[in-house]
Structure 1
Amino acid sequence: MSRRRLFVALRPPAEVCEALLDTMEGVAGARWQDADNLHITLRFIGEVDRHMYADILTALESVAMPPFPVEISGVGHFEGKRRSTAIWARVTPSPGLAQLQHRIEMACRLAGLPPETRKFVPHVTLARLNSGSAPIGEWLAAHGRLSCTPWLAESFALYESDLTPNGAIYREIHQFP
């Protein structure tokens, strides 16, 4: 039986993606994201079979709320053991974003998924780092005041993630208003 690796996300509009792409340089060894891979993950689902996939689609179709503004302001990074693992653009927390993320989490649990245990940190990943990546301090300082034009989130999407030797390839498979 075929399995799919899934996540739920918001996609920034093209002009925001362009602004983010303009920041993607200056850290040797960083694996910068492609424009098509820029998103705000609302819920990582992981690998599911076709039955769970159908249950997830049905549950996500029940998520409804009015559009809300989304804004990017600042940058940050995630750390693993003794080194940074990713750099990202910070998404300003907002009641609308928190409510949407919570409703998606509840829908995923209703579909039979276990609860997400990681704290929701709204962000757009810009680069993945490894032990060979250069230090990021100068990049973080240079882009600390990053700000993009706010946009109205009017839909979210279910994505499939295919892992390849060159990184993940994301494909939108269903959009929800």
Structure 2
Amino acid sequence: MPRLFTGLELPEDISDSLATLRGGLPGARWIDPENYHVTLRFIGDIDGISANEIASMLLRIKRRPFEVKLQGLSSFGGKKPRAVVACVAPCRPLMELQAELERLMQRVGLDPEGRKFTPHVTLARLRAASNQDVADYLSVRGYFPARSFTVDRFVLFSSRASVGGGPYIVEDAYALSA
């Protein structure tokens, strides 16, 4: 059974830039730069028939390319931080693409996504990192110059069942065109 999700790939120069932020945080398990992405919709472990149905349904999406902007770092998890992320500025085309993917996944019988969509790139997963360690890390590294890139496709990724962080494989790509 493949574990699937839809997402946006990052250009290599932006991944390289984000990779310079690695290190200096006790308890962090850093994601390999080749696995950086923006998750649009987690699908989960599904059978091959459902995977094929989802892959063909994604062909129906007709959207134009758009700009995405990365700006600043943050953490997820509140009092018990669990991830350090690069923030993605929400923009209308991104939010609409994600909402359309959510509707399509519900149409094929998946449960609605339980969390509000907060676009981001996970840089590190945290285990036993203190609030103070995360705050110190963010105060030193949390600002980096905003970086933008054009999204001209989204992809269907697969991953093996693991603790997270890849490796991720592009199973199919869906072009955005004018």
Q: TM-score, normalised by structure 1?
A: 0.91
Q: Please, which of 142, 155, 166 is the counterpart of residue 153 of structure 2? A: 155
Shift of 1:66: 0.4
Q: 1:112 to 1:12 in 2, by over 3 A?
A: same
Contact (CA 8 Å) 1:73, 1:92: kept in 2 or not?
Answer: yes
Query: Residue deviations 1:51-109, cap 9 Å, x none?
Result: 111111111111110000001001111116x4110000000110011011111111212
Q: 1:110 to 1:139 in 2, by over 3 A?
A: same
Q: 1:165 to 1:63 in 2, by over 3 A?
A: closer
Q: 1:165 to 1:155 in 2, by over 3 A?
A: closer
| Structure 2 equivalent of residue 45 of structure 1 | 43
Residue 94 (structure 2) pairs with residue 110 (structure 1): no
Shift of 1:166: 8.3
2:108 alignment partner AA = A
Residue 26 (structure 2) pairs with residue 28 (structure 1): yes
- After TM superposition, list the pairs within 5 Å mapping 1:92-131 onto structure 2: 92-131=89-128
Q: 1:132 to 1:95 in 2, by over 3 A?
A: closer
| Structure 2 equivalent of residue 69 of structure 1 | 67
For residue 26 of structure 2, give the secondary structure of its aligned residue in structure 1.
Answer: coil
Shift of 1:165: 6.6
Shift of 1:29: 2.5
| Structure 2 equivalent of residue 58 of structure 1 | 56
1:33 alignment partner AA = I
Shift of 1:169: 1.9
Shift of 1:140: 0.8
Contact (CA 8 Å) 1:72, 1:146: kept in 2 or not?
Answer: no
Shift of 1:8: 0.4
Stretches of 4+ aligned residues off by more than 6 angstroms: none
2:53 alignment partner AA = D
Q: Give, in whole Å, the separation in 2 of the partners of 1:32 and 1:14.
A: 17
Q: Give, in whole Å, the separation in 1 of the partners of 2:116 and 2:7.
A: 16
Task: State the aligned residue count.
Answer: 174
For residue 8 of structure 1, give the secondary structure of its aligned residue in structure 2.
Answer: strand
Q: Give, in whole Å, the separation in 1 of the partners of 2:139 and 2:52.
A: 45
